[in-house]
Amino acid sequence: MVRIGHLRFLFTSEHEGLPNTIIEALLLGTPCVSTKFLGGGAEKLIEPGFNGILVPVGDAEAMAEAMLRILNDNEYARLLSHNAKLRARDEYNPERIYKQWENYITEVSSK
């Protein structure tokens, strides 16, 4: 089996906020599989089939299928990797985040 590097990322939490580890994996272009945990953070970060794979919490069969897919289907893993990196670099660009904070602070301080 030929792989696009050796990195894959698996996140199997039942409840989280917005996990930095998923953001970091996406920024690196690492193909990701995550549970759709309570809190909804994964669903804000991963668009299934575009930049990662989401599976229901507790569904071991779906998790195994997703893991095997990103391990064995190199073209699919490459697609997820490419899309993950592009979207994450746009969404989490430091200048964009600074501007959001600046706008928020300006709005709050003007009230």
pLDDT digits (tens, 9 = 90+) for 58-71: 999 999 999 999 99
Which of 76, 94, 100, 87 lies closest to 22 in space, CA to CA? 87
Give the pLDDT score at 2: 41
Which of 79, 53, 47, 83 lies closest to 65 in space, CA to CA? 53
CATH topology of domain 9-109: Rossmann fold (3.40.50)
Where are any strands of DSSP class E within the chain?
9-11, 32-35, 53-55
Mean pLDDT of the chain: 90
- Domain residue limits, the chain: 9-109
Question: CA-CA distance, 5 to 50, in Å (whole number)?
Answer: 19
| Widest pairwise Cα distance in the chain | 59
Residue 1 confidence (pLDDT) above 60 = no
Question: CA-CA distance, 69 to 39, in Å (whole number)?
Answer: 26
Residue 94 confidence (pLDDT) above 50 = yes
Q: Is 19 exposed, middle or buried (0-12, 13-18, 19+ CB in 10 A)?
A: middle
Residue 5 confidence (pLDDT) above 60 = no
